[in-house]
Structure 1
Amino acid sequence: MSIFKTFIQYYKPYQRLFYCDLFCAFVVSVIDLAFPQLLYFLTHGIFTPTTSGIWHIISWVGIGMLVMYSIRYVCQYYITTWGHIMGARMESDMRQDLFNHYQRLSFSYYDRNNTGEMMSKLVSDLFDISELAHHGPENIFISTVKILGSFLLLLFLNVQMTLILFVITVCMVAFSIHKNRKMKAVFMDNRKKIAGVNSSVQDSLSGIRVVKSFANEELERAKFSGSNLQFLDSKENSYKVMGSFVAGNAFFQGLLYTAILVSGGFFIANGSLQVTDLAVYALYIGIFLNPIDVLINFTEQLQKGYSGFKRFMEVVKTTPEIVDKENAVSLHDVTGHIEYKDVSFHYDENAGILQNVNVLIPAGKTIALVGPSGGGKTTLCSLLPRFYDVSAGAVLIDGKDIRDVTLKSLRDAIGIVQQDVYMFAGNIRDNIAYGKPEATQAEIIAAAKNANIHDFIMSLEDGYESYVGERGTRLSGGQKQRISIARVFLKNPKILILDEATSALDNESERYIQASLERLSKDRTTIVVAHRLSTIRNADEILVMNHKGIQESGSHDSLLARGGLYAKYYKMQFEGLDELKEDS
């Protein structure tokens, strides 16, 4: 019922279209029911040898029917056109709501879920919603009107035959309900299996360069074949269930015709039914069976739409773990004073990544985090913009707990340059402007110059309009990195996080980017995560972290003089492993 109520809510913006659609459906149903009744009236009162002026009557009947079917044409056009448009708009609203909800979900949700499956819920699962939204109420309404109307008129023609018809119809309904339960499970399995196919495709195509570099096309084909065959098996099962469902209902329809033919012959033989009445009765049987046929065919559509909407609801009902407090305030006039106060963090119930960490970063200062992978450096940075929330303790900016301020104002105050730079599909200008969508061309150019990328951009044939390729494949790593730095220049935040921003670059690119980063860091509170220790010599303070927490802190020179972990890492990079072994 919860799913049904939520589905109904999507009709609200289109109530006028919906009610007009039902009205037109009612008109169509009444006209369809009228023809056998008109035939019954004509055969019993007009089509007799003693009737005078029959041609005059027939001409008026013909004109009346022409008007009637012209009205039916208009109504059917409205149902087919605007009914489908209403369904398409509802589908679009649901897709937008789902996408908006994806944007609200926390990083932890994306850690647990596959991109291909999420795309499947966004696209494939909602594909049948449009048809369900349009045909669902319409088919149920038309079928109800036609079944009840024809049933009452059949009772009027012959009660005994209609009761026989009723008993067979009840058996037919019971059979349909039984099969419908099986169909619900198999169509839900269909959705899961096609999500697996989408996931396999997304994963393989996103990593196509890795696939080809390892010559593993055959491996990818085998992996895709597995998920593809699983989906095929699921589809085959669904068609088997559908086959028994449709064939069973067709059998019951045959029973109806058989029962009417046999009982009709019996009643004609004993004189309680006229041959003309049996002909009219047969017409009403067609009208009675047609909506049943429609409902039978609609069952497949209903189950597909229901399973898709149910998976849609599973996402929409997922509560974002990180949201604004009810009384959250905006973060204004940021100076950049940061404090990690007894901070602990764990991703799950296992051992924590961080335990009772205390860090103080004065406004405008640069602090560097070094240490082995898995020591919690990136995690510590991720807590600042609330990509994750602390498990214990607090993170403060300018003395304010970041959980007490709005997410937008918090993240507006923080700029992030990462090692893995993401380029959006489009041109260079749009990718730089992502840091400030309303930026002017002059502001974009100024940001590019500060990031040492303007000259390169101008050397391209299309300049700032140059297409970057999917994920920036037409650009080198250093070029992408400088564009990401230009984004942050344009954003102009007071707090800067540099997460291994130069670790994957060659020496020449690193020199360009290091100059850009130094310019970017000026007068900003900066947290640097670095493996290349040469890039952090000028940091105001260096924190050495490992899985046990912060082990050392101090300036570059003081840490070298101490001869501890930092000195060890420094020797590994600049004096060689062999010499390090000899020292040990």
Structure 2
Amino acid sequence: MNKNATQSVKREGSPHLTRFYYPLDQAVEKPFNWKQMLRLLEYLKPYAKNLLPASILAMLISTIVRLVVPILIGKVAIDQAIENKDTSLLAYLIIGIAILYIFSYFANMFRIKWVNILGQRVIYDLRRKLFSHVQRLSHNFFDKRSAGSILVRILNDVNSLQELFTNGIINLLMDIIMLVGIIVILFVLSPPLALAVLVILPIMFIISTKLRRNIRRSWQDVRIQKSRLNSHLNESMQGIRITQSFAQEKENTEFFNGVNGDNYEMERIAMRKSSYFGPFVEMSNAIGTVILITYGAHLILVGSIDVGTFVSFAFYLGMFWEPISRLGQIYNQLLVAMASSERIFEFLDEQPNVHEKENAKEFKDMKGHIEFDKVQFSYNEDRIALHEISLEMKQGQTVALVGHTGSGKSTIANLISRFYDPTAGSVKIDGNDLREMKLSSLRENISVVLQDTFIFSGSIKENIRFGRPSATDQEVIEAAKIVGADEFIQRLSKGYETEVEERGNILSAGERQLLSFARALLANPKILILDEATASIDTEAEVKIQQALRKLLKGRTAIMIAHRLSTIREADNIIVLEHGKILEQGSHLDLMKRKGEYYHLVKSQFDMLDAL
């Protein structure tokens, strides 16, 4: 499959239903990226003066003890104390070894404690940075990705690095030091026997090298499949009402079984390939032991080595394959970490399409005068959303944008909030090109109310206060009263302290919309954008809101996007759009007199009402 192609997965038993995944979720073949690994290790820098050196010191103490004890047993206990029947030396040696093991015990205890603290803090830092970065990315980033795939990277991919940071790095250092120390000691004790015992290493290295690419690709596939599984779960939970409404539970379960089965298969393949290393190490250990006994016994018989040296060799050989085996496990951790870090750094390297200049200016006192100067915009190369639009929205005006779906109404609103930048031309507020201004300074002065409003888990009060966290309880209540939300809030069991479920499911669509009005108005914006904001409000509630808006919009610039034309009669300026172009604009009375596109839109809506 071409890496830029979109992969599709069909549901079993239903040839017509297909799920598509973005090309961003394709595995790629790359060599082990040491530069990327060093970048990952940079997250240890904040702890380079305390936790990291303390963990390394504790690791060194326990490693040195393990390297010293076999020498003491072989060369001192056997070759000197036992050979010469020196019980005093043997007693001192036993006490000395016991003391060394006590030091090693406490060193290991603190090492485990400190590396776990270190690992948890690094994971915390990495997840915080990733979440903070993703929040600042442009809407274009979220247009291309499902919520589930983003969640996988922030949760699962970051979690998969935990083992590397809590154990992997320190264990890697410990095992390398252990191996180097053992090899040096073996060659010091007996070079011929050391060469004979370690002859298996080159063969082992060649075989393990051949496994690396397959193992790494398998763990990449696992991460990608987990992303797809999570995406489907997220989509299924959010769309459960639609699934049940169309009685598609069986179809949905069949598709989930397919994705879940793929996930199981990818995990099985990755674990199977990763498990090859352990048995090979055991086999190597067995071969080394046979060589040691055969050739070591021969060297003892010819007088080349002492029995103590042979015993030390046996200790070191047993210790040698332990770090070799652990290095195989650590290598698997590195492969998993590389697969995950690639996906994490892909997000961290993603730059917003909407860039903020280093010397960007702030709005000191925004008035709300908006200008579009020959603005052209397209979401992709195939479709132009706006064709050289030029328009003016004066300070304090209420401007309505009307037109058929896809005419460019929401695009204009998105450009005012600078969720996107125009492809050509400029958008200005108070004469300032928005590309020259700070995003936070711009958006702090704008409130947006959408048709599909989002209510967070938490209390009613917290949801309203989201518009301005510093607002007092009294200001929250006043905002709710102005938009007519106070009446239904007071009927709730705990009033403003009532906890709402995810997305506000305990509230009706109209009640959620009223809360979003209160939230927007509490922010005290200079510019208010209402994108189909009254679509879910019943007629009685709409009358209340219209009365409140007359007071609240005074002195503010308001942009109203509406299909229900009855809600925009009192707008100062109505702009009629069609296929990204302005057909006509003016007040309701002016446009009705012209009998143009707006007149026909109004007439068709009233004809539909009369027919009902």
- Scaled by the length of structure 1, the TM-score of the pair is 0.95
Alpha-carbon contact 1:84-1:131 (below 8 Å) kept:
no
Task: Specify the code of the residue in structure 1 equivalent to 2:40.
Answer: F
> CA shift at 1:333, angstroms?
1.2
Q: Are 2:360 and 1:325 equivalent residues in the alignment?
A: no
1:47 aligns with 82
Name the stretch that deviates more: 222-231 or 135-144.
135-144
SS of the equivalent of 2:493 reads coil
1:582 aligns with none
Residues 517 and 258 from structure 1, CA distance in 2 versus in 1: closer, same or farther, beyond 3 angstroms? farther
SS of the equivalent of 1:370 reads strand
Task: Specify the code of the residue in structure 1 equivalent to 2:78.
Answer: T
SS of the equivalent of 2:350 reads coil
Residues 304 and 101 from structure 1, CA distance in 2 versus in 1: closer, same or farther, beyond 3 angstroms? same
For 1:512 and 1:376, the matched residues in 2 are separated by 29
1:13 aligns with 46
For 2:150 and 2:460, the matched residues in 1 are separated by 28
SS of the equivalent of 2:358 reads coil
Alpha-carbon contact 1:478-1:513 (below 8 Å) kept:
no
- From 409, 419, 435, the counterpart of 1:387: 419
1:396 aligns with 428
Q: Are 2:375 and 1:340 equivalent residues in the alignment?
A: no
For 1:243 and 1:333, the matched residues in 2 are separated by 65
- From 27, 34, 41, the counterpart of 2:68: 34
Task: Specify the code of the residue in structure 2 equivalent to 1:412.
Answer: E
For 1:107 and 1:547, the matched residues in 2 are separated by 22
User: Which runs of structure 2 are paired with 1:37-436 in the superposition (5 Å)?
Assistant: 37-40=71-74, 41-48=76-83, 50-51=85-86, 54=87, 56-436=88-468
Alpha-carbon contact 1:176-1:249 (below 8 Å) kept:
no
Alpha-carbon contact 1:541-1:553 (below 8 Å) kept:
yes
For 2:553 and 2:245, the matched residues in 1 are separated by 37
Alpha-carbon contact 2:54-2:114 (below 8 Å) kept:
no
Residues 216 and 508 from structure 1, CA distance in 2 versus in 1: closer, same or farther, beyond 3 angstroms? farther
For 1:543 and 1:156, the matched residues in 2 are separated by 89
Task: Specify the code of the residue in structure 1 equivalent to 2:37.
Answer: F
> CA shift at 1:274, angstroms?
4.0
Alpha-carbon contact 1:84-1:130 (below 8 Å) kept:
no
Task: Specify the code of the residue in structure 1 equivalent to 2:66.
Answer: D
For 1:385 and 1:50, the matched residues in 2 are separated by 89
- From 9, 22, 27, the counterpart of 2:56: 22
Task: Specify the code of the residue in structure 1 equivalent to 2:582.
Answer: I
Name the stretch that deviates more: 448-457 or 83-92.
448-457
Alpha-carbon contact 2:281-2:321 (below 8 Å) kept:
no
For 1:435 and 1:227, the matched residues in 2 are separated by 40
1:224-277 per-position Cα deviation (integer Å, ceiling 9, x unaligned): 112111111211211221232332333222222222222223333444344443
Task: Specify the code of the residue in structure 1 equivalent to 2:337.
Answer: G
Give the ranges of 4+ consecutive aligned residues of structure 1 lying more than 6 Å apart after TM superposition: none
Name the stretch that deviates more: 102-111 or 503-512.
503-512
Name the stretch that deviates more: 397-406 or 262-271.
262-271
Task: Specify the code of the residue in structure 1 equivalent to 2:39.
Answer: T
> CA shift at 1:303, angstroms?
1.3
- Unpaired stretches in structure 2, ≥5 consecutive residues: 1-33
1:191-239 per-position Cα deviation (integer Å, ceiling 9, x unaligned): 0000111111111011112222222111221221121111112112112
For 1:435 and 1:415, the matched residues in 2 are separated by 8
For 1:575 and 1:518, the matched residues in 2 are separated by 28
For 2:379 and 2:422, the matched residues in 1 are separated by 10
Alpha-carbon contact 2:403-2:577 (below 8 Å) kept:
yes
RMSD (Å) for aligned C-alpha atoms = 1.7
SS of the equivalent of 1:358 reads strand
> CA shift at 1:514, angstroms?
2.9
- Scaled by the length of structure 2, the TM-score of the pair is 0.91
Residues 554 and 502 from structure 1, CA distance in 2 versus in 1: closer, same or farther, beyond 3 angstroms? same
2:490 aligns with 458
> CA shift at 1:511, angstroms?
2.5
1:497-519 per-position Cα deviation (integer Å, ceiling 9, x unaligned): 11111123332333333333333
Q: Are 2:31 and 1:3 equivalent residues in the alignment?
A: no
Alpha-carbon contact 1:502-1:514 (below 8 Å) kept:
no
SS of the equivalent of 1:142 reads helix
Task: Specify the code of the residue in structure 1 equivalent to 2:63.
Answer: S
> CA shift at 1:134, angstroms?
3.0
Alpha-carbon contact 1:125-1:311 (below 8 Å) kept:
yes
1:538 aligns with 570
Alpha-carbon contact 2:361-2:437 (below 8 Å) kept:
yes
Task: Specify the code of the residue in structure 2 equivalent to 1:113.
Answer: R
Alpha-carbon contact 1:394-1:401 (below 8 Å) kept:
yes
Aligned residues: 576
> CA shift at 1:17, angstroms?
0.8
2:524 aligns with 492
Alpha-carbon contact 2:172-2:330 (below 8 Å) kept:
no
Residues 50 and 554 from structure 1, CA distance in 2 versus in 1: closer, same or farther, beyond 3 angstroms? closer
Name the stretch that deviates more: 147-156 or 353-362.
147-156
- From 579, 586, 589, the counterpart of 1:547: 579
For 2:73 and 2:342, the matched residues in 1 are separated by 47
SS of the equivalent of 1:360 reads strand
For 2:85 and 2:491, the matched residues in 1 are separated by 98
- Unpaired stretches in structure 1, ≥5 consecutive residues: 580-584
Name the stretch that deviates more: 56-65 or 288-297.
56-65
Name the stretch that deviates more: 306-315 or 161-170.
161-170
1:501 aligns with 533
For 1:352 and 1:241, the matched residues in 2 are separated by 49
For 2:72 and 2:283, the matched residues in 1 are separated by 30
Residues 58 and 270 from structure 1, CA distance in 2 versus in 1: closer, same or farther, beyond 3 angstroms? closer
2:544 aligns with 512
2:481 aligns with 449
Instruction: Tell me the percent identity.
Output: 35
2:27 aligns with none
For 1:192 and 1:506, the matched residues in 2 are separated by 45
Task: Specify the code of the residue in structure 1 equivalent to 2:603.
Answer: K
For 1:351 and 1:455, the matched residues in 2 are separated by 45
SS of the equivalent of 2:471 reads coil
1:347-374 per-position Cα deviation (integer Å, ceiling 9, x unaligned): 1222311011011111111111111000
1:124-174 per-position Cα deviation (integer Å, ceiling 9, x unaligned): 001121221232331222112211211122223322121122321122122
SS of the equivalent of 1:123 reads helix
SS of the equivalent of 1:373 reads coil
> CA shift at 1:382, angstroms?
0.5
Name the stretch that deviates more: 56-65 or 97-106.
56-65
For 2:448 and 2:85, the matched residues in 1 are separated by 96
- From 505, 515, 524, the counterpart of 1:473: 505
Q: Are 2:524 and 1:524 equivalent residues in the alignment?
A: no
For 1:198 and 1:548, the matched residues in 2 are separated by 37
